């Protein structure tokens, strides 16, 4: 059986009188066979059609299928596998809104700006103590190529802050994997809420932050010599005393 669609081939249930053309008449009124009320099924592709094409449009130099609506959706499609499939380029004039994941297998060429609603640029890492690595936790590199919760002051292994705390969300995540739950996105650049300990020194806006002996917390870097190579970022809000969640600008140095 050929899988090539022939628009002039008779369709079961849509036969024509003997001697007449087998082409389907687009103006022929066919009883409504589908819902909602007012919809019209031109013909149902079954029988000898191997590819089960319900509607096909052909054009040498113009539109193969054209759909328009003045008050609603011009073209609506559903499918158990795919709602639509295109072989070739697709041009969209206007906004394109996608609800759900967008998976592409080619390059993205952008002539304009890319606008993201998130605040930080993060990368997924394997985490040794994943239950303790809640959003806002300061993390350091471990000996196995992953990260763990920081636990000492001025640690030059500082890697970043677990993204997602407070009102700041991740904008970009590198290295995301669908398998494995022992991973967390670490903010490496941008704004992120961070757990901070101001017990030893009050923190002001613009102060450099480093790791502290309080697990998972940052503190003010009061010793420039020790802070070299262990700076996590800059505080964006003050914290006079105690511990708290403070927005910071991640700038590892």
Using one digit for the tens of pLDDT, what is the confidence trace for 181-194?
Answer: 789 999 999 999 99
| 3-class DSSP assignment, residue 207 | coil
Does residue 131 sit in the same domain as residue 242? yes
pLDDT of residue 199: 95
Does residue 186 sit in the same domain as residue 69? no
- Position 2 pLDDT exceeds 70: no
Does residue 221 sit in the same domain as residue 142? yes
Question: In terms of Cα–Cα distance, which of 196, 204, 253, 247 is closest to 227?
Answer: 253
Does residue 136 sit in the same domain as residue 195? yes
Give mean pLDDT, residues 139-161.
95
Q: Specify if 17 maps to a domain.
A: yes
β-bridge pairing 120-126 and 170-174? parallel
Per-residue pLDDT band at 168 (split at 50, 70, 90): very high
Question: In terms of Cα–Cα distance, which of 49, 54, 55 is closest to 9?
Answer: 49
Does residue 209 sit in the same domain as residue 127? yes
Does residue 190 sit in the same domain as residue 131? yes
- Position 136 pLDDT exceeds 90: yes
Domain that holds residue 67: 1-98
β-bridge pairing 218-220 and 231-235? unpaired
Question: Which of 69-83, 135-149, 208-222 shows the lowest mean pLDDT across its residues?
Answer: 69-83
Cα distance between residue 141 and residue 111, in whole Å: 38
**Greater model confidence, 64 or 21:** 64
Does residue 124 sit in the same domain as residue 88? no
Cα distance between residue 199 and residue 186, in whole Å: 25
What pTM does this model have? 0.69
């Amino acid at each position: 059986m050929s899988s090539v669609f022939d628009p002039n081939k008779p369709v079961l249930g849509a036969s024509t009188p003997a001697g007449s053309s087998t082409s389907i008449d687009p103006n022929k009124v066919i009883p409504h066979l589908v819902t909602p009320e007012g919809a019209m099924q031109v013909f149902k592709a079954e029988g000898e059609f191997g590819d089960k094409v319900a509607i096909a449009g052909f054009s040498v130099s113009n539109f193969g299928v054209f759909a328009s609506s003045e008050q609603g959706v011009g073209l609506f499609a559903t499918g158990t596998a795919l709602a639509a499939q295109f072989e070739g380029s697709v041009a969209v004039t206007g906004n394109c809104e996608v609800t759900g994941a967008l998976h592409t297998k080619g390059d993205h060429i952008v002539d304009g700006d890319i606008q993201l609603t998130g605040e930080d640029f993060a990368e997924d890492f394997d985490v040794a103590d994943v239950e303790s690595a809640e959003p806002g936790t300061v993390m350091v590199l471990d000996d196995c190529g992953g990260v763990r919760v920081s636990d000492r002051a001025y640690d030059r292994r500082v890697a970043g802050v677990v993204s997602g705390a407070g009102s700041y969300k991740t904008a970009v995540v590198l290295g995301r994997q669908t398998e494995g739950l022992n991973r967390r996105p670490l903010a490496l650049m941008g704004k992120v809420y961070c757990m901070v300990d101001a017990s030893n020194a009050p923190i002001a806006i613009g102060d450099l932050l480093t790791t502290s002996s309080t697990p998972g917390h940052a503190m003010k870097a009061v010793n420039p010599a020790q802070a070299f190579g262990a700076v996590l970022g800059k505080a964006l809000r003050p914290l006079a005393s105690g511990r708290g969640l403070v927005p910071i600008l991640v700038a590892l140095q």
